[in-house]
Structure 1
Amino acid sequence: MTTLRARDAGRLASAATALVLLVGCSSTPDDDPATSGPAPSSSPSDPAPSEEPAEPDPSEESTEEPTEEPTEEATEEATEQPRPISLAALAQADLTGGGLRLGAVRERTATYTSYDVTFRSTTAGAGTAPLRISGVLNVPSGRGPFPAVVLAHGYIDPAYYVRGQGMTRERGFLAERGFVALHVDYRNHAESTDDPRIETAVRLGYAADVAAAARALAASREVRVDPDRIALFGRSMGGGVMLKALAADPGLFAAGVGWASVSSLEGQNFDHFQRPDAPVDALRAGFRGRHGLPDEDPAFWRGVSPRPVFGDITEPVLMVHGRFDDTCPPPWARATQRALTAAGVDSTLEWYDDGHAFGPAFVAAMDRTVRFLRARMPA
């Protein structure tokens, strides 16, 4: 597509170097009775979000990492070829996507139709066929071309995950307001193809899948999407996926949104979510000797984190976070937004009096998100 960013023909790394992934973080699945339900058909006026506390959060010192000056060793490392499992390798890979196919109709309303869909994503390794990724697509009523939003859901155990789970409310809300909304079932989820190397990296394959979703929408002849108005919206784990995709594929999306996002430092996510639940020997065995734990191989964990490469992001970013989030600590959102701003990214952080799953503040936060998307993707 001429409207998507062209790849340098001389990029050396293949998709095989960057499409392995490890599941991490947690978000509340939208089949939880406390957080599920159809998207509201109308919404009240959006009250101003809560102001960030004037006093620093007492937990901030323990959850933010200090800024480090690059060492001579780190500078030399940056001039070498990127590690095979790294965000730099993903950025050099030939990320592909297309073949969007509409399947069964899931739902028809006065404002949109919902379909089961599949599309192609980047391969799982050298010599392998493109992965088939499943998902759910909401298409507004009308002729289009429509702006579109790719949805990157939070963590739900793939063994129990079902197609379209995790952002049902957001998908319906967006479609009712004129956005095509494509919920991506990452590789190894629902009817998507399994990537056998899922345990050897940190969600890099998920970032490749949401990038493939954008390309599939832009190339579709069945759904009229404006290829210059495609945004990426992730929640919880998906907020980290969003930041990785923007950094790896700058110019592909028009904007990024992250709700209740994980940390932009993967070592921090590991220490918060995985380390407390398993003995060190079991954690090491899970990585099959490919790399060490965060305190043993900090360079690897920096390499799979989006924060060190925020300067590569060209799109505006909206971060939305609950002041009472006890899953992804609020100081993570502050640290990410400050790092985005320091890197020159047009970024905003909005606060709401809510928890991780966004219950009472859902409509207000979605109204704010829609205003942001419309301002950044004008017709």
Structure 2
Amino acid sequence: MTNRWSRAQQLAADRGIDALLITPGADLRYLTGYHALPLERLTCLVLPAEGDPTLVVPTLEKPAAVASGVDLAIASWDETDDPFALVASLVPQAGTLGVDDHMWASRVFALQATFPDAKTVLAGPIVQELRLRKTPDEVDALREAGAAIDRVHERMGEWLRPGRTEREVGADIARAILDEGHATVDFVIVGSGPNGASPHHDVSDRVIEVGDPVVVDIGGTTPAGYCSDSTRNYLAGGTPPDGYADAYAALEAAQAAQREHARPGVTAESVDAVGRDLLTEAGYGDRFIHRTGHGIGQETHEEPYIVAGNTTVLEPGMAFSIEPGVYLDGRFGARIEDIAVCTDNGLEVLNNTPRNLVVLS
């Protein structure tokens, strides 16, 4: 992790930030390897632009921090100590401080009171610049996560059938996500029939019926700390409702075109446009109601976002989802989602289960 925080220090110095202050979350895990619990007691990485970093932790959390293998100094504080004063003692110069994007407001205010003359800015742009391009080891971790979630989709016929509720199917899927190698289940969406028209439906007590199209969007985090996310579409026997086959054919064509287009040298927004234009030509433009994708790594959603207006040029190591969707309120929905990573020569797709509508009997 030393290379990561030393690069963050250099970026902070280049931008006139005297110190980065990072509390529990993906940024702290990325910079130190420590997956700290977000508790009411302050844990904070103090990363000065010049000098050695220190991880500030409550005394009762120090054993966990040591066990995580952090390769930097640890300063602990007791119950009656002021942890913000301890942070201040570790910042040699405090003209401008960078605080992580997800820091609790109560802590931001406490730091501002502790450093009344300092300017406070977001540290997110610095850490995201590092996290944006995955190293080969990180790509390997994402590859393993993708294979693990693929194995869950391959088992869908064990659970998804008429007569069962979405909630029952979702519970089986959640257990399989863990069985297939994830450390945590991050989300399970089982959207049957009209519920598939809600992109973030979750699960409900609706009983799956014969002929229901079902959107299954699932993901988790592996022991290595990297996320999976894949969406496939299933038919619970019978025949799909009127209009579904045409909508799905248009969606398949759009997602395939986006996978073909995405590669180093093109912009994030151009990937979105390729699929959106095809869906618009097919008459479903107003039914594609979200961006094409999001970056993925130690968080399910991070940079780069594949959306209109994002002129970021894709580079090797950038990992993101490609997930156009079509949603007809009150009738059905469909979404096809793969995680992909830019390589030196093109694009590697990390999810490889069938993208066609899978009919389960």
TM-score by length of 1: 0.24
Instruction: Specify which structure has the bigger relative contact order, considering alpha-carbon pairs within 8 angstroms and separated by 6 or more residues.
Output: 1
More strand by share: 2
TM-score by length of 2: 0.25
Report the structure number with the largest CA radius of gyration: 2
